[in-house]
Structure 1
Amino acid sequence: MNGEHNSHLPPPPNHNQHQHQRPYRYHPPSSSSASFKGCCCCLFALLVFLGLLALAVVLIIVLALKPKKPQFELQQVEVQTIGIAATPSASSSLPPTVTMPPPAASLSLTIKMVFTAQNPNKVGIKYSGTQFYVMYGGVPLGVANVPGFYQPAHSIRSIETAVVVDHVNLVEADATDIVKDASINDRIELRITGDVGAKIRILDFTSPRVKVSVDCAIVISPRKRSLTYKQCGVDGVNV
């Protein structure tokens, strides 16, 4: 009886069939994240536009002003002190078999130089500090320092500086030449060279650095303590 009764019972329910998976729900991006990205894009585009606008304004101003290269020249040279002393030779105390040392001489010199800076532009120029080297026969003797300064438009400015050479020893050929030039020829030829850096100021914009070179050959008279010749660039000027 029990077996027949159990055969008519319905099968137990399958719980797995009644379990349903949760449907996938799409979560759209939040409105705050989208607005933040939009603000960043707008800000970047605005910065690019302002940069291009500023560059265009500067280019228009540069084309309208037509900036020119400034002029920086050596105008005057004044010999204040000059002295040449031959170094005592020790050949008298040397044995005859020992080679005599080369002759030597020391040079003392003080000269004042006046440079002229000319700005032909409609805007100001800012000069950086520079150094001018005084050389004899390719040997540096001293350095003249010129501090940086600002020059207004359409102006000419004089800059004074001095170089002091204090008992600089010259040996071998240089000593022989300078003693001969000073005692016999009454002339000492020096070279003054240096580079001046200049930048043009347009509103708050500074142009790239422009180099102005100075390269002059001068001849001074030790007896008269004066300048007798000056040559800068191509043309020479007798004084």
Structure 2
Amino acid sequence: MDLFPKHSDGFCCQELFSAYSFRKCCFFLLIFLLITIIFVVLATLFVIFIMKPQKPVFSIQALNLNSYMLDANSSQTLFVSSVFTLTLNAQNQNKVGIGYSSSNFHVYYDGFPVGLIRIPRFFQPAHSNNVSVETRVLLRCVNLSKITSAVSLQDKSRENIAQMKILGDVRAHLWVFHTSLLEIKVGVDCDINIDLSKISFTNEIFISKGIKNHLASFLKNSNIMSMNCALAFYI
């Protein structure tokens, strides 16, 4: 009399085959991950030691005040909400092109968020010196009375200086021969000092509730704005 069913041998073979297939799948997955890690490391070393990357340079071309709205409450505190178009000039002296994804940077004054900078997707070709980037700056319910009071209380050397901070991050792609070689994440922390007394405005059109097409021009190498930025890179 048989103690085990006849199909028990087939069941054991099926278990052995499944275990072998699982080990084989894990082996190929491990090989794939190892190759991917090696490729990323080699690409990073290639960019650092062969391409010798330099930090892209950004400068301000123009600041266009599209619209604003003033609001005063019962305590005579003045608030302003405004929309600016900020045009930047981007320079890239690297041997590779750099593509940037769209992102949002936050604007802070005295530790409080006061606005948002919307940066569109754009591309810097290798060895380029004149790429214009048009960004949108949104300021909401900024306490203008507080800012002017703080500026007036500064010492003579800092008079008319408004200090702000910009925080955010953006994804950048390095391009070689029309191929995306590496993607990195760049964290930006900028301290901005703006000399309000040196901003000259032109092309003013006054209307009943505000000003439109109010253009502020910034001369190259002027002292209107100073910027000190710290960058952090993530792969």
TM-score (norm 1): 0.55
Mapping for residues 150-161 of structure 1, pairs under 5 Å: 159-161=133-135
Does 2:11 align with 1:33? yes
Q: What SS does structure 2 have at the residue aligned with 1:81?
A: strand
Does 2:194 align with 1:219? yes
Q: What SS does structure 1 have at the residue aligned with 2:114?
A: strand
For residue 76 of structure 1, what is the aligned residue in structure 2? 59
Cα deviation for residue 126 of structure 1 reads 7.6
Q: 2:119 aligns with which of 136, 139, 146?
A: 146
Q: 2:168 aligns with which of 183, 186, 194?
A: 194
Structure 1 contact 72–116 (Cα < 8 Å) conserved: no
Query: Residue deviations 1:154-213, cap 9 Å, x none?
Result: 6877643121436x35165334235789xxx55544332212245789x99997x74422
Instruction: Give me the whole-angstrom Cα distance separating, in 2, the residues matched to 1:153 and 1:56.
Output: 32
- Number of matched pairs: 194
Structure 1 contact 220–226 (Cα < 8 Å) conserved: no
Q: What SS does structure 1 have at the residue aligned with 2:31?
A: helix
Instruction: Give me the whole-angstrom Cα distance separating, in 2, the residues matched to 1:205 and 1:41.
Output: 38
Q: What SS does structure 1 have at the residue aligned with 2:23?
A: helix
Structure 1 contact 105–179 (Cα < 8 Å) conserved: no
Letter in 2 for 1:54: F
Structure 1 contact 76–114 (Cα < 8 Å) conserved: yes
Does 2:226 align with 1:230? yes
Mapping for residues 27-106 of structure 1, pairs under 5 Å: 27=4, 30=7, 31-66=9-44, 75-77=58-60, 78-81=62-65, 101=75, 103-106=77-80
Mapping for residues 120-135 of structure 1, pairs under 5 Å: 129-135=102-108
Cα distance, 1:177–1:102 mapped onto 2, change above 3 Å = farther
Structure 2 residue ranges without an equivalent (≥5): 201-215, 219-223, 231-235
Q: What SS does structure 1 have at the residue aligned with 2:4?
A: coil
Once the two structures are overlaid, the 10-residue window that deviates more, 126-135 or 55-64, is 126-135
Instruction: Give me the whole-angstrom Cα distance separating, in 2, the residues matched to 1:153 and 1:35.
Output: 60
Letter in 2 for 1:75: F
Cα distance, 1:35–1:137 mapped onto 2, change above 3 Å = same
Identity of aligned residues (%): 17
Instruction: Give me the whole-angstrom Cα distance separating, in 1, the residues matched to 2:229 and 2:172.
Output: 19
RMSD of the alignment, in Å? 4.8
Query: Residue deviations 1:110-154, cap 9 Å, x none?
Result: 2404375969798x98855421123333343321223567x6996
Cα deviation for residue 65 of structure 1 reads 2.0
Instruction: Give me the whole-angstrom Cα distance separating, in 1, the residues matched to 2:63 and 2:120.
Output: 22
Which is higher, the Rg of structure 1 or of structure 2? 1
